[in-house]
Amino acid sequence: MTALAHKLARLKQQAGGAAPSAGSVHRLSPQPVETPVRPGAQPIRPAAGAERSPSGRIEEAPAPIWERAPDPAPGAAERHARQVAQLRKLMGLRPGARDWQAPSRDRTLDGEEIAPGLRRIEIRQPAQPPADVLDLSELRHEPTEASRILAFDTETTGLAGGTGTRAFMIGAADWHDGSLRIRQLLMTTLGAERAMLAEFARWLSDDTVLLSYNGKSYDRPLLSTRYTLARLPDPVIGRAHIDLLHPARRRWRGVWENCRLATIERQVLGVVREDDLPGSEAPAAWLSYLRGGSAEKLRRVGHHNAQDLRSLTGLLEHFVNLAERSLPL
């Protein structure tokens, strides 16, 4: 008899039972304990996810760790957060990302779809250029026909630049048929970028002069990178380009708190934006829409972009008027 068998035999004898024989098999097999049922009563059935313990009692299966409330002991919340983070990593989930987001009912966007995942928005308001030929001496630029000016501005997925940053909206404004025409291209899928770039290139003529605010350092290089990656001819590089940031700095640096477009338009043009979505929130608004979120903030991005274009043309008119006032009589 093995040592385990001797031990079991002694325990059996102490309990008042007969000792097992040497050749018998000694195996512990817990027997389920049946719960008495009153006549006419329904037997208790284990719930889904419940388990039966070795003693026969029905026990609830423990909830997943991410559904359990943290232990009230000191430091339990931090341990719980670490455990959840580890589980999310093992499951391939990004930290802080939602596993699932219910689609929003508010998915309406302005404009019309001109290609799969690409929308075109057009706004017109009565306006005339200050002159047919603009005196741009205050901008250190030669006189230029107003019809050649095209103001442009982009809304992008980030401000760092580089190949990982893309423009999800391109806006442009020009004087056309007695009005200021604002056109915007908006991607609603990542696959629409090539169509957007090709459409924007069609808006440019051989003699178009670009107008921007910090576009020489940010918007133009970013678009050039996207055209190169899309294997399309670059229509913006090497083109005549007026960047209003530089003359604004020469004239108002030290006068106002900064030379951001929002500051200059408020101080010089008297433009006060109401319910404006800051440009820093534009990437999150677009990504939220792509994941099925509401279109409300993305529409506000479009309104912000349109106001930037209005301010660009208004600031250009201001510099033209300054040049005319400085002419000798």
Q: Name the CATH superfamily for 112-324.
A: Ribonuclease H-like superfamily/Ribonuclease H (3.30.420.10)
In single-letter form, the type of residue at position 13 comes to Q
Alpha-carbon gap, residue 294 to 33, rounded angstroms: 56
Q: Nearest Cα to 183, choosing from 265, 119, 127?
A: 119
pLDDT at 325 (0 to 100): 80
Give the three-state DSSP class for 156.
strand
pLDDT at 77 (0 to 100): 67
pLDDT at 4 (0 to 100): 66
Report whether 195 contacts 183 (CB < 8 A). Answer: no
pLDDT at 25 (0 to 100): 44
pLDDT at 166 (0 to 100): 93
Sign of CA dihedral 207, 211, 212, 214: positive
In single-letter form, the type of residue at position 30 comes to P
In single-letter form, the type of residue at position 70 comes to P
* Strand 179-187 with 167-176, pairing: antiparallel
Alpha-carbon gap, residue 49 to 46, rounded angstroms: 8
Q: What's the count of helices (H) and strands (E) in the chain, helices before strands?
A: 8, 11
Domain ranges of the chain: 112-324
Please tell me the pTM assigned to this model. 0.69
Alpha carbon separation from 188 to 33, 117, 154 (Å, rounded): 62, 5, 15
Alpha-carbon gap, residue 301 to 170, rounded angstroms: 11
Point out the residues of the chain with pLDDT beneath 50. 18-30, 32-33, 35, 37, 58, 65-67, 99, 329
Alpha-carbon gap, residue 83 to 87, rounded angstroms: 6
pLDDT at 306 (0 to 100): 96
pLDDT at 75 (0 to 100): 67
C-alpha distance across the termini of the chain, in Å: 126
